[in-house]
């Protein structure tokens, strides 16, 4: 049978499924990090955490029982997971900031509206815009070399 009439092979379907799963997982993680960054970066969250620490330090039961070991384990787990949230948030912010700077440097006239609110775009969208600006920079280099 001609390969034009057949659907995608099992390997192609599996690859497409894995790419879709990865893309959906990335989008879900981006949404989660956006929400958690907003919550963890809030001043009220800091005040609540400070009050909890002060309560632990002033509570004699904390020193006499082995509860401090369990609390330490919880704090270690939360800190470990928060590290990944902070890293993901920083990578996203850094990529969008670089994209904005590239747009300002590459443009001689009015700035493109495509990068307004770039920090709210997904990493995939930022990567696509970045590729477009890489092509734009190459075109500008060619034009400038032609003028010399």
Q: What is the pLDDT along the chain (148 residues), one digit of tens a residue?
A: 445 555 555 555 556 778 888 889 989 988 988 888 888 888 998 999 899 888 888 887 776 667 777 878 888 998 999 899 889 888 888 888 878 777 776 665 666 667 766 777 888 888 898 898 899 888 888 888 887 6
Element (H, E) at 5: none
Cβ contact 124:23 at 8 Å: yes
Rounded distance, CA 56 to CA 48, Å?
12
Task: Tell me how far CA of residue 61 lies from CA of 57, 64, 71, in angstroms.
Answer: 10, 5, 13
Six-digit token string for 92 = 């996203």
**Of the candidates 102, 111, 110, 104, which has an alpha carbon nearest to the alpha carbon of residue 131?**
102
Note the pLDDT of residue 1.
Answer: 47
């Amino acid at each position: 049978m001609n390969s034009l009439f057949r659907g995608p092979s099992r390997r192609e379907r599996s690859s497409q499924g894995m790419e879709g799963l990865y893309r959906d997982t990335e989008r879900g993680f981006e949404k989660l990090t956006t929400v958690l960054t907003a919550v963890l970066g809030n001043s009220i969250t800091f005040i609540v955490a400070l009050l909890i620490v002060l309560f632990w330090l002033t509570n004699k039961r904390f020193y006499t029982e082995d509860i401090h070991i369990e609390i330490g384990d919880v704090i270690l787990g939360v800190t470990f997971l928060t590290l990944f949230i902070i890293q993901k948030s920083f990578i996203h912010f850094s990529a969008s900031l670089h994209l904005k700077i590239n747009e300002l440097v590459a443009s001689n006239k009015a700035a493109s509206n495509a990068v307004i609110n770039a920090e709210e775009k997904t990493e995939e969208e930022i990567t696509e815009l970045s590729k477009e600006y890489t092509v734009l920079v190459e075109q500008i280099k060619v034009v400038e070399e032609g003028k010399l």
